[in-house]
Amino acid sequence: MSKRPSTFLLLTALLFLLSCVLPAQAAAGKKPRLKRVQDTAATLIEGSGPAYAARPEAMVLADEIAERHGLDRKWVRRTVGQARLVPQVVKLITPPPLTTPRNWQQYRSRFLETERIQAGMDFWQTHRELLERASSTYGVPAEIIIGIIGVETYYGRHTGRYRVLDALATLAFDFPQAHPRAAQRTAFFRAELGEFLKLRKQAGADPFKARGSYAGAMGIPQFMPSSWARYAVDFDGDGRVDLVDSTADAIGSVASYFRAHRWQPGMPTHFPVEFDYERLDMQTLLAPDIKPTFPVEQFTAMGIVLGGAGRQHAGPLALVELQNGDFSPSYVAGTENFYAITRYNWSSYYALAVIELGQAVAQALPPRDLQASTTPSKTGCSMSTQRSTSDAPICR
């Protein structure tokens, strides 16, 4: 009788045992990284211009970065010198011509889409315990965290395809001078380039392999290097901060960021408004832009009509205006928590999109999953335009 069947059976049994033992050993050791859906097909965009080693101002900045952050001067010079200009970054950072007015409804529709809301539900249900812990630890509602990650990277699917080193170097040395804030933005990106090199050196990571947005933001929550250094946290307890592959670190870091920017637990983000046109002082109300400035008494004395919750608000308010193209603008009364969201991105359109995406995901979830928000998530009411009281939105 041939021995082949016995050998085959022996090998089969051995493979079966290995399939059982290896996962058990992995489970007993370091826990696996949390999985997420990601666009892995995105081609890395690298610089195509001349290397910055030939630019004297680049080498001067390299020396300053080395001294400021205690880095090896030769390493910084070599790294910065190998960075290259990315023409597409210059194009994207340049403000487009104001050929058409801004349109909140169009902007909103980019994020309040069925597919993104469904992705948010999946993300919430998968990471419910992490959201609950982050909300409990930092006092930030789960739906705000959900809104941020959903708007920034579609829940980790689109984290950027530019080589961060090239993007930051481009904006540090070739920021478009036609930009109205060119000097300030150039200084900002030069500082971010230094923070990026310091981060990569401390982590022992290759600075040429980091991917991000055209502005140099990285990871699931799209943190700039300075924000990564100041606010990112090791929320999965593995001894390092990783906003690229650790969903836990991303969730905890978003909550950490908002607590550092004075998020106030339990405070609504905004209230709907109507106008008393006989007393309305629109010029004074809009002068501070999105910064909460007016106590409720002064706010209402200048012609703003608030509902019951708005009248009881204890802090300052801002009249936030959002253009709707050729139609009448939309308005809300923004609180200090609304302003906190704009610290992530200086835009009232962005802040309201974050809020409303988080609300939409929360409303679509089964009740048991809403327990992830252990802090009352008072994000105010839905968007209000100039409508009669009978047509006012309903608060959740």
Enumerate the active-site residues. 152
Give strand pairing partners of 272: 332
- DSSP string computed for 29-80: SSPPPPP----TTPPPB---S-BGGG-HHHHHHHHHHHHHHT--HHHHHHHH
The answer to whether 214 touches 167, Cβ cutoff 8 Å, is yes
Distance CA 323, CA 111 (A): 17
| 327 bridge partner residues | 324
User: ∠ at Cα 47 (45, 53), nearest 5°?
Assistant: 150
| Alpha carbon distance 124, 117 (integer Å) | 10
How many Å apart are CA 332 and CA 343, to the nearest integer?
A: 18
Residue 368 DSSP label: G
Is the separation of the CB atoms in 96 and 103 below 8 Å? no
Q: Give, in order, the Cα–Cα distances in Å from 64 to each of 3, 13, 34.
A: 73, 63, 38
What values do phi and psi take at 306, rounded to 5?
A: -110, 155
Between the alpha carbon of residue 347 and those of residues 84, 140, 258, 342, the distances in Å are 30, 20, 16, 6
> Which residues are within 8 A (CB) of 66 and not within 5 positions of it... i.e. 6 or more apart?
72, 73, 75, 76, 77
Strands, E assignment, 55-201: 162-163
Give 249's DSSP letter: H
The HSE-up count of residue 229 (CA atoms within 13 Å, CB side) is 17
